[in-house]
Structure 1
Amino acid sequence: MAVTLGARPNLKKLLRRGIEEEGRAEVAARLDLSLEVLYDYATLRVIPDPETFMLLLRALKVSSETERWMSWWYLQVVAERPKTRSNDARHILQSGLPDPLGADCAEALVKLLNEVRDWACNPSLRELEIRSQFRLKRTTLSDMLNSNRLPELGRYMAFLEACGVRDTQTWAFVWRKIMLKEREAKVGAT
């Protein structure tokens, strides 16, 4: 007599098996995730969003039949109202992140910051305040996202980190480039 497990145990079992077969480090690298986040997904401690789940299945290189079963179990697990659903910035994939290198002025950079916020699933100013561990206040965030001035570097970097941007070096480079350009324009005007 066969024992039928629920959706959650079946999905966990197949996720763990697939990750072990492909190698934890390899799967994490394919998805641009830390091993900690991958573990959260494999144990279903955190339920990935549907797009991330499909990317995970592709990274595991499962057969189409296994993919169908895993997708069905995933829908069942989501319907159960999971224990936690991640809003943690560590669980956001970097695909689709706006490219800062095209920004050549403060206005363009502020526009990109608003696009980054959209990319991070448009968290509220309160959520960003919490994610930044209260280094950023809601009023500061609102001013930064609605002005045409170059934000202060520390606040700018804290905002990017709160939105889940991992490659902040490129963003810092663009900020410095624009700051120098603005400084040269002020010197040239005097």
Structure 2
Amino acid sequence: MGEEVKVFGAWGSPFSSKVELALRLKGVLYDYIEEDLNNKSSLLLQYNPVYKKVPVLLHNGKSITESIIILEYIEETWKAYPILPQDPNDKAMARFWVNFIDGKCSSAIRKVAFSPEEEREKAVEEACECLKTVESALNGKKFFGGDTIGMGLELLSSEKFPNLFKWTDDFVSCSIVTELLPPRDKLVAHIKAHLSK
């Protein structure tokens, strides 16, 4: 009997997409279950009773939550196509940047999108500072892990952040990533609807 692998996710969620991307890179077959975050399923609440959010990875009946934890679980469970470097120092640095980007950068960029008009300029400055830090970390590398994909807005322009802009372009040009990207018009409509609430 084969492995049971399911991903509970939400359309447009970068956290869900990261989990799907890792599974696809490793060639792991999985079932995707779309969640309506305004009307969460009893299964989502059962498998993530603490945070009650996506993503959730269900592997042979056991649930793993929180995208970074799920990514590390995927890395340890399926060895094909490593998404973390093997060297302990490089692995620690990769984890540092994942935490920095998921925590500080994502939060700063969300503030730009969802702040009241009077707070937006300060939010843009904060987001640009985060992006400058990430820009310097790329330092000419194609991806954070080197030449391969790993754990890794108008704010992002080729003039302000040439390395980060090129990385983003290279990342979204990979066929596996392209398959997971939501249609731009649908994503823009989703964000506008959220902003009007």
> Under a length normalisation based on structure 1, what TM-score does the superposition of the two structures give?
0.31
Task: Compare the two structures and name the one with the higher helix fraction.
Answer: 1
Task: Compare the two structures and name the one with the higher strand fraction.
Answer: 2
